Amino acid sequence: MSQLLPENAPNIGFIGYGAMASRMGAHLQKAGFTVTAYTPSGKSSNPSVRMFPSPRELAGHADTVIVCVPDDEALAASMYGENGTLAGLKSGAMLINTSSVSPEATAQLAEAGHKAGITVLDAPVSGSTPEADSGNLVVLVGGSAPDVAKAQPIFDAIGKVTVHAGPSGSGTRLKLVINGIMGAGLSALAEAVGYGLAAGLDRTMLFDALDQVAVISPHHKRKLKAAKEGNFAPQFPGRLMQKDMRLLLDAAAREAVPVPTLAATTQMLSLGRRRHPDEDYSALIGVMEKIVANDA
């Protein structure tokens, strides 16, 4: 990661400072940036981060604002209106949206920023809290090449790779593709584990064997190891994964792309969210295991 900052390195304000944003903020501070934040609760676990009472006040003190909120509704609530971020940003400022939201919300924000003379990049990240902790996120950016280059020192501080996906909106769409693959893989893994247990395979042998085969991704092997121990601490909460699948289904329907596998995956992840909304989305493995155990 680059540690060389320009002499006029921007002051960065975060809208949303939860599990992912606080970890990104810590890396930015280590890289020499000044970091401030706004959260609806007005609280931060990091005493070195100054908190502001509204998005507008935060934006008025920042050169660059990074948004990290859970969904379209939270994005709209923090961006628009008399106390919103856009009301406080000065013309020429930069707004980087790392949230996983719909293409429509991304387009609306880009248009509003353009009217206000603000550069807007959609830059969701691929990775969970472990990658955010280690600064190894993959940043998926939509916007013009010059604007991406201007923001590169920020991306270098929080991630290991920056993918310039294309013009505005491309980062958002690429994130939906990636999360769709991630969700489908986990759902298939949960169902297959359920079958293996119901068929009488030894649980320890099954989990250990799956950890050795090449057909399962490193990400899903990490989930499998945690599931073996019954550990579903939220690295990526089920409510957020199910939300992303819902966004992908809607986006695919708008393009008239048939996605029956992803539709079925969304139903499975809805089950996981219903049972364990705030635990990791891999809790679906535990749900399937419990179903099998109860039916035995």
Provide CATH code, domain 12-166. 3.40.50.720
Query: Which residues is 159 bridged to in the sheet?
Result: 137
* pTM confidence score: 0.93
Say which CATH superfamily domain 174-295 falls into.
Answer: N-(1-d-carboxylethyl)-l-norvaline Dehydrogenase; domain 2 (1.10.1040.10)
Q: Please indicate whether the domains covering 12-166 and 174-295 agree at the CATH topology level.
A: no
Domain boundaries, the chain: 12-166, 174-295
CA distance 131 to 181: 18
Q: Give the closest residue to 283 by CA, choosing from 242, 245, 250.
A: 242
**Across 7-16, 80-89, 225-234, least confident range:** 7-16
| 52-89 per-position pLDDT tens digit | 999 999 999 999 999 999 999 999 999 999 999 999 99
Q: How confident is the model at residue 43 (pLDDT cuts 50, 70, 90)?
A: confident
Query: CA-to-CA distance for 86 and 57, rounded, in angstroms?
Result: 10
* pLDDT greater than 90 at residue 34: yes
The neighbour count for residue 263, using CB atoms within 10 Å, is 14
| Residue 7 confidence (pLDDT) | 53
257-260: Cβ within 8 A, 24+ apart: 259/180
Asked if residue 9 has pLDDT above 70, the reply is: no
Give the ranges where the chain is alpha helix by DSSP (H). 19-30, 55-60, 72-79, 85-88, 103-115, 129-134, 145-158, 170-198, 203-210, 218-228, 238-254, 260-275, 283-295
pLDDT in tens, 244-283: 999 999 999 999 999 999 999 999 999 999 999 999 999 9
